[in-house]
Amino acid sequence: MNNTREVEVVVIGAGQAGLSSAYHLRRTGFEPERDFVVLDHSPGPGGAWQFRWPSLTYGKVHGMHSLPGMELTDADPERPSSEVITEYFATYERTFDLRVRRPVDVRAVREGDGGRLLVETSDGTWSTRALINATGTWDRPFWPRYRGQETFRGRQLHTAQYPGPEAFAGRRVVVVGGGASGTQHLLEIARYAAATTWVTRRPPVYHEGPFTEEYGRAAVALVEERVRRGLPPQSVVTVTGLPLNDTIRQGIEDGILDRRPMFDRITPDGVEWNDGRRVDADVILWATGFRAAIDHLAPLRLREPGGGIRVDGTRAVADPRIHLVGYGPSASTIGANRAGRAAVRDIRRLLAAEPAEPVAA
């Protein structure tokens, strides 16, 4: 018996990008379950925010923009961001009746009959005319590989597993990574650890002054250029640099943000450089970022030789039925909102221009 269900659009992911896309589908006349479905593999609402460490309070979150149609107001800045934003997302889903299906794991997207796509999941198969991929990066933490890494007798963990600073009390900690997460972790851990060492591949770049709209547009344009060429996207933060705020200034003054170049090898007891320097460590924390979670799209062969998916706006150049929201230049909360609207606009045009063909029996 064929249990494939048909819809016009499948949205994969229910974080900021997925909910924004679902909102714009609903707002322009698509009915949930009948015309579109939102599939999310997380146990509950909140996207990646539900997994953030407890010490990341809402007041420490930079650039969290409300979802379209409903402002996030009166949030307690002292509450964990995981709680604040999870509750907000849950309310948003109920308010706009988005009917997110979870937990559903999307295993593969393949070519179907009649110009449709088949979305194979843990909850059966969906046949769709268009797909919005909003899976983000949280499920693909990037772990660099260094000589001797397997011999380290201490603990290695990634930002995705960060439990909060108290877990590092009395430990000698090496933090690897020069982005926002790495500096936040380092500044927190330094209050508890016996010693901290900060290591990055490149010297940190600090940005003084406000992040103006013009500066933000220029940064997004650089990321967009990469994905237009089919290269793996960089984060917008990589382009903009770190804000030189009072917290960062104090960290520099206190000697906590004293960057060392990348080590050459890992030993059982720490890390070493070729010039003979070494640091003993109990913990190596890899704050080395994430990669786009797009392996389920592999059967469609969308990747370019450079390793990324070439997109124009949100549309995959190789397949106009596929839109990537929250990928590359739209991998920010405000970017995801705008990209969700743009993707839905393009999909409406696509579906209007291409009447659905009957699926072969």
User: Which carries the bigger pLDDT value, residue 255 or residue 226?
Assistant: 255
Q: Could you tell me if 271 and 263 are in contact, meaning their C-beta atoms sit under 8 angstroms apart?
A: yes
Segment 24-41 mean pLDDT: 96
Q: Could you tell me if 293 and 138 are in contact, meaning their C-beta atoms sit under 8 angstroms apart?
A: yes
Number of C-beta neighbours around residue 197 at 10 A = 21
With bands split at pLDDT 50, 70 and 90, how would you rate the model's confidence at 1? Answer: very low
Residue-level pLDDT at 63: 61
99 sits in the region (left: phi over 0; alpha: psi -120 to 50; else beta) called: left
Residue-level pLDDT at 244: 81
Q: Judging by DSSP bridges, how do beta strands 36-39 and 315-316 pair with one another?
A: unpaired
With bands split at pLDDT 50, 70 and 90, how would you rate the model's confidence at 360? Answer: very low
Q: Could you tell me if 132 and 343 are in contact, meaning their C-beta atoms sit under 8 angstroms apart?
A: yes
Segment 82-91 mean pLDDT: 95
Segment 84-108 mean pLDDT: 97
Number of C-beta neighbours around residue 86 at 10 A = 20
Helix (H) or strand (E) segment spanning residue 94: helix 81-95
Residue-level pLDDT at 332: 62
Residue-level pLDDT at 41: 95
Residue-level pLDDT at 74: 87
On the question of pLDDT at 211 being above 70, the answer is no
With bands split at pLDDT 50, 70 and 90, how would you rate the model's confidence at 206? Answer: confident
Angle between helices 16-27 and 81-95 (to 10 degrees): 20
| pTM attached to this predicted model | 0.85
Rounded to whole angstroms, how far apart are CA atoms 11 and 135?
9
Residue 303 makes CB contacts below 8 A (sequence gap 6+) with 230, 309
**Portion of the chain with pLDDT greater than 70, in percent:** 86
Residue-level pLDDT at 222: 62
User: Which carries the bigger pLDDT value, residue 102 or residue 326?
Assistant: 102
Reported as a single tens digit per residue, the pLDDT across 136-182 is 999 999 999 999 999 999 999 999 999 999 999 999 999 999 888 89
Domains and CATH numbers, the chain: 5-139+291-353 (3.50.50.60), 149-205+241-286 (3.50.50.60)
The mean pLDDT of the chain is 89
**Portion of the chain with pLDDT greater than 90, in percent:** 67
Residue 150's SS3 state is: helix
Segment 274-294 mean pLDDT: 95
Q: How many CA atoms lie within 13 A of 148 on its CB side?
A: 15
Residue-level pLDDT at 361: 32
Segment 255-261 mean pLDDT: 95
Residue-level pLDDT at 8: 98
On the question of pLDDT at 213 being above 80, the answer is no
Instruction: Please give the C-alpha separations between residue 246 and each of 62, 186, 208, in angstroms, as whole numbers.
Output: 14, 15, 11
Reported as a single tens digit per residue, the pLDDT across 307-358 is 889 988 899 999 999 999 988 766 565 667 888 999 999 999 999 986 544 4
Residue-level pLDDT at 354: 62
